[in-house]
Structure 1
Amino acid sequence: MSKLDGNERWKSKMMLTEHQEQYDSRNVEKVSSVPTEEEYHMIRDYVLLPHMLTMVQKGVDELQGSTGVLKKLHLVTSKLVMDRISKDIYDLRREMSRRNIKVLQDDQVDLVVYYKYICRGYENKMGFVREVMRAEISKRFTAYIQGIIEQLKVTKETRKAK
């Protein structure tokens, strides 16, 4: 932003077209580097998915030591959920790398965890409230489990058809 921006006197002055194009392209690049809504969702997923994977792993570790009747069922479904989360993390990291987006944990103040993100040169912070993260993680787990149930239904129907 130069000192002449917003000064109406300078709008009427002569300027070479190539200089005007350079000025316009420089401003367009700054605007285009701001993350889109989809990219904000990707950043949020990048933060949430590793937490989810850790939670499922802790559940599996607890199940290993238990002697429950449905231990094997819980272990198998937990492994399926972990596989899906791992695949989503892999796909997400790949897409973020392609779009030149980096996320770094910054700091934690009270119940808010801040992450710094760099999107094509644009830097900013994003804060996540712990309670909101828990609610979102709960929704995600429900979606993953629902996906497994749907997969089991399809498998069951294909077996009946044979």
Structure 2
Amino acid sequence: MSKLDDNERWKSKMLLTEHVEGYEQRQHSHENKIITTEERTMIRDYILLPYMEKMVQKSLADIEYSTNILKRLYLMAGQKILDQIVKDLYRLRRELKRRNIKILTEEQSELVVYHRYYCRGYEEQFGMTRDVMRSEISLQLTKYISGLAMQLKEYSKETK
């Protein structure tokens, strides 16, 4: 509490418009520097998508050398999912760049994987345990597979 708070004369004073505007701009610019939940989700996805890409590529390589009778079907479906992952990763890179968010290094501390990132001038860390990464990857791969299944269902309706 300052000495001016108790002084009744200061309560009747008017603020100049430019002072009010300057205060509001400083408040607004400070709010813009705080990362939103949507941006945290984007960072999480940006971290997980390269892992998913490698997993799908390895799976495609394994299928390539298999003798399964449905090998071509699995390869086409896997390639379609891989293409969607790459497209989403590209889209996320563009959006993070537009929002001035840079993701830097990966550090591992026991069971947690940390990524440093800069968000509009502020440096922070984003950490995930390996178990959380596995479960999120599983959920996202399930979404990609269901999306492909929906496309196949719609295609089969169109051809009938």
- TM-score bucket of the superposed structures, by smaller chain: 0.7 to 0.9
1:8 to partner: Cα distance: 2.7
State the SS of the aligned residue for 2:44: helix
Using the size of structure 1 for normalisation, the TM-score is 0.85
The structure-2 alpha-carbon separation of the partners of 1:137 and 1:10, relative to structure 1 and needing over 3 Å to count, comes to: farther
Using the size of structure 2 for normalisation, the TM-score is 0.86
Distance across 1 between alignment mates of 2:78 and 2:32: 40
Partner residue in 1 for 2:62: 62
Distance across 1 between alignment mates of 2:48 and 2:4: 49
Partner residue in 1 for 2:38: 38
Distance across 1 between alignment mates of 2:2 and 2:21: 19
1:50 to partner: Cα distance: 0.9
Partner residue in 2 for 1:8: 2
Distance across 2 between alignment mates of 1:19 and 1:27: 12
Distance across 2 between alignment mates of 1:22 and 1:123: 25
Aligned pairs (5 A) from 1:71-150: 71-150=71-150
1:21 to partner: Cα distance: 4.5
The structure-2 alpha-carbon separation of the partners of 1:89 and 1:144, relative to structure 1 and needing over 3 Å to count, comes to: same
Q: Write the letter of the residue equivalent to 2:45.
A: D
Partner residue in 2 for 1:159: 159
Q: Write the letter of the residue equivalent to 2:2.
A: E
State the SS of the aligned residue for 2:113: strand
Q: Write the letter of the residue equivalent to 2:146.
A: Q
Distance across 2 between alignment mates of 1:140 and 1:67: 28
State the SS of the aligned residue for 2:142: helix
Q: Write the letter of the residue equivalent to 2:128.
A: F
Task: Kindly provide the CA deviation profile for residues 45-98 of structure 1, in whole angstroms up to 9, marking residues without a partner as x.
Answer: 110111101100111111222212221111111100001111111111111111
Q: Give me the CA root mean square deviation.
A: 2.0
Q: Write the letter of the residue equivalent to 2:130.
A: R
